[in-house]
A and B are shown apart, each in its own frame.
Chain A
Amino acid sequence: MTTVVTGTTAPPRSVGTAHTRIEGRDKVTGAARYAGEVPFADLAHGWLVLSTVARGRIRAIESEAVLAMPGVLAVLDHRTAPRVNTDYSGLMGMRPDPTIAVFQHDRVPHLGWPVALVVAETSEQAREAAEALVVRYEEAPHHTGLDTDHPDAHALDGVMPGVTGKGDLEAELAASATVVDAEYTTPEEHHNPMEPHAATARWEDGRLELVDSNQGATWVTGELASLFSLDPGSVRVRSEHVGGGFGSKGIRAHQVAAVMAATLLRRPVRVVMTRRQMFSLAGYRSPTAQRVRLGADARGRLRALEHNSLSVTSTVHEYVEPAADPARVMYDADAHHTANRVIPLDVPSPTFMRAPGEAPGSFALESAMDELAERCGLDPIELRLRNEPDQGPVSGLPFAGRNLPACYREGARRFGWAGRDPRPGRRRDGRWLLGTGTASASFFAGAGPSTATLTAHPDGTFTVRIAAADIGTGARTAITLVAADALRVTPDRVRVRIGDSDFGPAMIAGGSMGTRSWSWAVTAAADELRDRLALGSDIPAEGITVRSDTAAAIGALTPAERHSYGAQFAEVAVDPATGEVRVRRMLGIFAAGRIINPLTARNQFLGGMVWGLSMALHEEAVRDRAFGGVVGADLAGYHVATNADVPRIEADWIEDHDPGDPVGIKGIGEIGIVGVAAAIANAVWHATGTRHRHLPIRPDRVLAAATADRGRPDA
C-alpha cells in the first residue's frame, strides 16, 4: 500500500486551457463504437414499421406472409406486444409521451406512428420483411396545418408558465410614441443528429441492459423501469459515445420496441432508426406563429411588450414550444404580456430541440426590436441598452450577473459597428447588396441534481464515475479538467467514466445544464476526497471512494435570474435578381460564466451559430397537408447549412464571474443559436430594405420581395 495524495502544491490549472477531446483519436479512427455498432453474440435485428396514414385505426396486419420470409423471427404489433405502464411521471415530472408506449392499441394518431416491429436474424432481412408487411387501415380525416384561427388553441405551461402578464397593454400601446406590431413564423425543424437513434436491449443475469445513444442514461433507465414495471436497479443503460442529440435523444419508440422484442425472444435485439424514420419518431421543433407588439416612448424605452406564440402538439401528448419565454428575461415594460399557446394536430409529438423557445422566440422578438430601432431612429444596440432591465421583468428576482452590455461593447468594437449607416439598401458589391445586423441572446443557466463517485487509487490516479453523457460537446474532457483542478493534479492522472446508469443518478446532457451540473457533483466529491486523503491514511488496493450528491446544494441556491448572454452580429450579401442570401461574416460575443475548455467551448458556440445560420436561411420541413407527412424526409430534402454556406465566424467570450455561484459554470450548448436568425434577418433588411418575418429566408421569398418592391424583376 502506498500513500498517495492529491497535490499539495497545485499544478497549473487545467480549466481554462485548451485540451483536445480525450476520445478524439478513437472517434476519428473509428475505434469508438457507437450504439448501433457494439457487437453482441446472437444479436437479432428489429425494423420498425410506421403508419402510412395520418389518422385512423389499424384494421389488419398481415404478419403471416412476413413470418415466412427468410430469417424473420417475430412480428410485434398491438396484438402481440407486451403491455406497458404509462401512468408515471418521468424527467422533470413530465408525463411520458404515449408515443413511446408502442403497440398498445390500434389507433393511429399521425403519419409515421409505429405500428409493428419486424425482427429477423439480419438487419437486411428485417428491413425487407418490414417493407413487405401489409398493414390495412381504416382512415379518418386528418388535419396537420398550423392555422392561427384553430378553435382548439389553448395556453399551455411548459417548464415555465404558459401565460404571464402585468399592466394595461392597450393603454400603454395607445400612449406610446412608436409602435411595432408584426407577425413572424418559423417552420417545422428537425434535429437530425449525425448518428441516428440506435438501441440494443438484452437480459443479462436478471437485469435488463440497454446499449443506447442517449442524452442521459439515468433518464432512459427511469423511463424503461416505469414502462416495464421494473425495479430501477434492475435496469442498466449504457451510452458510451453519442453522435449528437440536440434534445431528440431521450426515450423513444425504438428503445421500447427493442426491450419488448428482447424480452419475447430472449436474445439481444437491436433497433436503429433510418434517417427517414427520424422525421416521424425522433421529435422535432414545432412550427411557430408569433405576434409581437412593442410600444416605446420618445426615448425608445419600452412601455408595452406583448409576445404571443402559437405552436403545435400532437393529439396524444402536450408539448409547448415556449417561444414567448425570451421576452420574460430580456426586456421590461410597463405593460408586459407573454403567452405560449398550442393547437393539437394529427402530427408527431414535437419536443425539445436545441434552444427550445429561445431559438424561434428570439427571431421574432429581436427582429421586432430592430424594427422598433428603425422607427425610433435609434441604433439597434443603443435601443437595447436603453431597455436593460434592473430585475427579472416577470419574476421580479435580481439578476445574478447580466453582462449583456459588455457583450455588445466588445462585439461592436470587434465587428466594426461604429459609424454604421443605418439606412437600408445603400451598399453594393457587384450584384450583391450588403447589410449588417445584430441581435441579443440569452439562455437559462440551470443545474440538475447529480451524483458522482470519485476513487483514489494506490498508483496515484483517480477515477471519476458519473452518468454524464458526451453528446459530442467534449463533456468527458471537460469533466476531466474540472476533476483535475478540484483534486489539484494534472489531467493525465484522472480517468473519467460516463454514460452508465450504474454510476448513479445524474443530470442529462440537456438544457445547457450538463457540464454545470456534473462539474458541481465532481467538485463536491473531489473536495471530500481531498479531505479524506489529507488525513494521511494509506490507500488500499480497491482505492478510496467517495460519493457526492448535489441535490441539497442546488436546492439551497438563492433564487435569482441566472442566464448566459450574448451579442450576435452578421453581415450578409443579397442578390436581388436571384434571391440568393449569403452570410459573409458573423461574430458572437458571450457572457457564459467560467469557460472550462476554450477549444471545445468555441466549437460549441460556433456550432450553435452555424445552427442559427441554418435556421435563418435553410431549415424547413415541408409537411404535406394532404397526406400529413414530411416531403423529402432526408438530408437531401431537408437542407442544413453546408461548409460553403458558413463564412468566417468568430465566437469569443468576456469575463463573467458570479461570486454567489458555487461552480461559476454556465451552459454554452444552446446560446450560440439564440439571436442568430434575427441578426441575419436584420442584416437582410439593412441590405435590401425588406423585412423578412418568415423563416427560412429562401430565394423565392427574397425574389418576391424584390419584385414587389421594385415593380420589375430585373431592376
Chain B
Amino acid sequence: MREFDYQRAHDVAGAVALLGAALDTRYLGGGTNLVDLMKTGVERPARLVDIRELPLDLVESTPEGGLRIGATVTNGDLAAHPEVRRRYPALAQAVLAGASGQLRNMATVGGNLLQRTRCGYFTDVTRPCNKRVPGSGCPAIAGDHHNHAILGASEHCVATHPSDMAVALSAFDAVVRYETGAGGGELPLRDFYLPVGDTPHLETALPRGALITGVTLPPLPIAGHSRYRKVRERASYAFAIGSAAAALDVHDGVVRDARLAFGAVASRPWRATAAERVLTGAPATPETFAAAADAELAAARPLEHNAYKVTLLRNLTVAVLTELAEEAAR
C-alpha cells in the first residue's frame, strides 16, 4: 500500500483548494469504497482530503417543496430522515437496501454517487480492465459477467454502477451540486454519468477537482407513492442483480404519470424513459406494465450469461408497478 498524506478540510473552499488540480489526490468521505480500493491497489492516491467535517450534513426542505441533501449526509441518516421517508419513500428504501448498517453509518451521499463498479476484473489489479487501465481490454465480456450490464454498455466495458441510492435519485430527477476552485455548478443526474463508449474510465461529467456539495430533489408529488425493490443473490449485504425504483400516479384506472429507473443493468442508474412513455395515459394493468418494460428492454444487449436480467427486470417492473397500482386503487 502506497504511503499517503492525509489532510482534513473544514470548509468547502478549503477542501477544493487542498485538492487543487492534483491528479493523485482524492476526497475522503466515509471511505467505505475508496479505502477498500486503496488496499487492493486500484486507487493509489498520494493525498487524501477528508471532507467529513464539512458543514454539508443537513437535509433541508427547499422553498419550492423539494429537498436539499448535503453531500456528507450519511446513508443511514438519509434513509432515516422523516421528510425523505414521507415524500420520497423509494429513496429511503433504496438506501436501506444497500450495504450494511455499519457501512450506511459511514458512507456519504456524495461518495455513494461516486462509488466504483464492483466488477471482479476492475478490482483485481493483475487483470486487464479498460476502466482501470484504458486500452488494456475487458476480460468480463468473455469471462464472468453474470452480474454485468445489459443496457448502454459497449465493447470496451460492461460494468454496472453499484449504487441503489442513485437509482431512486435518477427516478426523481435529482440534481447534483458541486464546487470547484473556479466556482460552483449543477448537473442533473441524467447528465452526471457519462456514456461508456470507448472511454469507460471517464465516469462522470464533474469538472476536475470538483467537490460534490449536495443533491437537490425537485418537488415531486408522485414520489410520495413510490417503491424500490432490489433483487440480489442473498438477503442482505450484496449488490443488486436487478432493481427498480418506481412511482405511479393512477386515476380512474389510468396512469396519469410514472417514474421508473433500473439498477444493476448499466454503467449508471438507468432511467426508463421509454417505459414511462408507454405508461403515461395507458390503463394501469399488468399488460401495460409488461409492455412498458418491453419497450425499455428492447434496447437490451445481454451477453452469454446475463440474459436472465431481461426477464428479471421485466418481471420486477410488472410486480412493482402492479403493487403500486393496487395500493392506489384502495
On chain B, the residues within 8 Å of A128 by CB distance are 1-3
Contact of A700 among B286, B308, B314 (CB under 8 A): B308
Give Cα distance in the complex from A428 to B253, angstroms: 27
Give Cα distance in the complex from A486 to B233, angstroms: 49
The answer to whether residues A631 and B143 also contact, given A52-B126, A645-B235, A699-B233 and a CB cut-off of 8 A, is yes
On whether the beta carbons of A714 and B314 are closer than 8 Å, the reply is yes
Stretch at the interface among B72-80, B115-123, B266-274: B115-123
Contact of A624 among B123, B139, B239, B312 (CB under 8 A): B139
Give Cα distance in the complex from A223 to B239, angstroms: 42
Q: Say how far B289's CB is from chain A's closest CB, in angstroms.
A: 9
> Does chain B have a CB within 8 A of A662?
no
On whether the beta carbons of A582 and B311 are closer than 8 Å, the reply is no
Give Cα distance in the complex from A105 to B319, angstroms: 59
What 1/0 mask marks residues of chain A from 283 to 294 whose CB sits below 8 Å from any chain B CB? 000000000000
Give Cα distance in the complex from A626 to B144, angstroms: 10
Q: Say how far B130's CB is from chain A's closest CB, in angstroms.
A: 16
Interface residues of B in 201-253 (CB under 8 A from A): 231, 233-239, 241-242
Give Cα distance in the complex from A629 to B124, angstroms: 10
On whether the beta carbons of A582 and B235 are closer than 8 Å, the reply is yes
Interface residues of B in 143-198 (CB under 8 A from A): 143-144, 146
On whether the beta carbons of B312 and A642 are closer than 8 Å, the reply is no
Residue of B nearest to A638 (CB): B120
What 1/0 mask marks residues of chain A from 240 to 270 whose CB sits below 8 Å from any chain B CB? 0000000000000000000000000000000
Residue of A nearest to B322 (CB): A714
On whether the beta carbons of A639 and B233 are closer than 8 Å, the reply is yes
On whether the beta carbons of A627 and B127 are closer than 8 Å, the reply is yes
On chain A, the residues within 8 Å of B123 by CB distance are 632, 634, 637
> Does chain B have a CB within 8 A of A163?
no
Give Cα distance in the complex from A624 to B305, angstroms: 13
Contact of B124 among A127, A631, A639, A698 (CB under 8 A): A631
Residue of B nearest to A577 (CB): B315
On whether the beta carbons of A644 and B314 are closer than 8 Å, the reply is no
Interface residues of B in 98-151 (CB under 8 A from A): 118, 120-121, 123-124, 126-127, 139, 142-144, 146
- Chain A-chain B contacts (Cβ-Cβ < 8 Å), number: 103
On whether the beta carbons of A622 and B308 are closer than 8 Å, the reply is no
What 1/0 mask marks residues of chain B from 7 to 32 whose CB sits below 8 Å from any chain A CB? 00000000000000000000000000
Q: Say how far A547's CB is from chain B's closest CB, in angstroms.
A: 48
On whether the beta carbons of B316 and A578 are closer than 8 Å, the reply is yes
Q: Say how far B104's CB is from chain A's closest CB, in angstroms.
A: 14
On chain B, the residues within 8 Å of A124 by CB distance are 1, 3
Residue of A nearest to B241 (CB): A699
Residue of A nearest to B145 (CB): A631
> Does chain A have a CB within 8 A of B41?
yes
On whether the beta carbons of B236 and A643 are closer than 8 Å, the reply is yes
On chain B, the residues within 8 Å of A636 by CB distance are 118, 239
Residue of A nearest to B41 (CB): A131
On whether the beta carbons of A577 and B319 are closer than 8 Å, the reply is yes
> Does chain B have a CB within 8 A of A641?
yes
> Does chain B have a CB within 8 A of A423?
no
> Does chain B have a CB within 8 A of A545?
no
On whether the beta carbons of B234 and A637 are closer than 8 Å, the reply is no
> Does chain B have a CB within 8 A of A603?
no
Contact of A707 among B143, B290, B311, B318 (CB under 8 A): B311
Residue of B nearest to A125 (CB): B3
Give Cα distance in the complex from A643 to B236, angstroms: 8
Give Cα distance in the complex from A596 to B308, angstroms: 49
On whether the beta carbons of A703 and B312 are closer than 8 Å, the reply is yes
> Does chain A have a CB within 8 A of B62?
no
> Does chain B have a CB within 8 A of A665?
no
Q: Say how far B326's CB is from chain A's closest CB, in angstroms.
A: 12
On whether the beta carbons of B118 and A714 are closer than 8 Å, the reply is no
On chain B, the residues within 8 Å of A577 by CB distance are 315-316, 318-319
> Does chain B have a CB within 8 A of A704?
yes
Most buried by B among A276, A698, A699: A699
Give Cα distance in the complex from A84 to B121, angstroms: 36
Q: Say how far B152's CB is from chain A's closest CB, in angstroms.
A: 21
Give Cα distance in the complex from A627 to B128, angstroms: 10
Give Cα distance in the complex from A631 to B129, angstroms: 13
Give Cα distance in the complex from A577 to B313, angstroms: 10
Give Cα distance in the complex from A714 to B290, angstroms: 9
Q: Say how far B67's CB is from chain A's closest CB, in angstroms.
A: 29
On whether the beta carbons of A644 and B235 are closer than 8 Å, the reply is yes
On whether the beta carbons of B234 and A642 are closer than 8 Å, the reply is yes
On whether the beta carbons of A626 and B308 are closer than 8 Å, the reply is no
Contact of A626 among B143, B233, B315 (CB under 8 A): B143
The answer to whether residues A713 and B234 also contact, given A128-B2, A577-B319 and a CB cut-off of 8 A, is no
Give Cα distance in the complex from A127 to B124, angstroms: 16
On chain A, the residues within 8 Å of B239 by CB distance are 636
On whether the beta carbons of A703 and B308 are closer than 8 Å, the reply is yes
> Does chain B have a CB within 8 A of A327?
no
On whether the beta carbons of B316 and A632 are closer than 8 Å, the reply is no
On whether the beta carbons of B118 and A617 are closer than 8 Å, the reply is no
Give Cα distance in the complex from A617 to B238, angstroms: 13
> Does chain B have a CB within 8 A of A431?
yes
Q: Say how far A629's CB is from chain B's closest CB, in angstroms.
A: 8
What 1/0 mask marks residues of chain A from 618 to 632 whose CB sits below 8 Å from any chain B CB? 100010111101011
Q: Say how far A145's CB is from chain B's closest CB, in angstroms.
A: 12
On chain A, the residues within 8 Å of B235 by CB distance are 582, 642, 644-645
On whether the beta carbons of B124 and A699 are closer than 8 Å, the reply is no
> Does chain B have a CB within 8 A of A546?
no
On whether the beta carbons of B319 and A637 are closer than 8 Å, the reply is no
On whether the beta carbons of B233 and A622 are closer than 8 Å, the reply is no
Q: Say how far B227's CB is from chain A's closest CB, in angstroms.
A: 14
Give Cα distance in the complex from A618 to B232, angstroms: 11
On chain A, the residues within 8 Å of B118 by CB distance are 632, 636-637
What 1/0 mask marks residues of chain A from 694 to 713 whose CB sits below 8 Å from any chain B CB? 00001110011001000001
Contact of A579 among B124, B312, B319 (CB under 8 A): B312
On whether the beta carbons of B236 and A645 are closer than 8 Å, the reply is yes
Contact of A578 among B1, B142, B312 (CB under 8 A): B312
> Does chain B have a CB within 8 A of A580?
yes
Q: Say how far B48's CB is from chain A's closest CB, in angstroms.
A: 16
Residue of B nearest to A112 (CB): B126
> Does chain B have a CB within 8 A of A633?
yes
Give Cα distance in the complex from A707 to B124, angstroms: 35
The answer to whether residues A714 and B318 also contact, given A703-B312, A707-B311 and a CB cut-off of 8 A, is yes
Give Cα distance in the complex from A639 to B146, angstroms: 14
Residue of B nearest to A698 (CB): B233
Give Cα distance in the complex from A582 to B236, angstroms: 11
On whether the beta carbons of B120 and A631 are closer than 8 Å, the reply is yes
On whether the beta carbons of B234 and A618 are closer than 8 Å, the reply is yes
Residue of A nearest to B2 (CB): A128
On whether the beta carbons of A642 and B237 are closer than 8 Å, the reply is yes
On chain A, the residues within 8 Å of B120 by CB distance are 622, 631-633, 637
On chain A, the residues within 8 Å of B127 by CB distance are 627
Give Cα distance in the complex from A626 to B311, angstroms: 28
Q: Say how far A36's CB is from chain B's closest CB, in angstroms.
A: 16
Give Cα distance in the complex from A131 to B126, angstroms: 10
On chain B, the residues within 8 Å of A699 by CB distance are 231, 233, 241, 308, 312
Task: Give the B-binding residues of A (Cβ under 8 A).
Answer: 52, 124, 127-128, 131, 276, 431, 577-580, 582, 617-618, 622, 624-627, 629, 631-634, 636-637, 639, 641-645, 698-700, 703-704, 707, 713-714
Counting from the closest, the 3 A-B pairs by CB-CB distance are A632-B120, A644-B236, A631-B120
A-B contact pairs, 9 of them (CB 8 A): A124-B1, A276-B124, A577-B315, A622-B144, A625-B143, A629-B124, A636-B118, A700-B146, A700-B308
| Known contacts A127-B1, A632-B123, then 6 further A-B pairs from the complex at CB < 8 Å, ordered by chain A residue | A622-B120, A624-B144, A627-B143, A631-B121, A645-B234, A714-B315
Task: Give the A-binding residues of B (Cβ under 8 A).
Answer: 1-3, 40-41, 118, 120-121, 123-124, 126-127, 139, 142-144, 146, 231, 233-239, 241-242, 286, 290, 308, 311-312, 314-316, 318-319
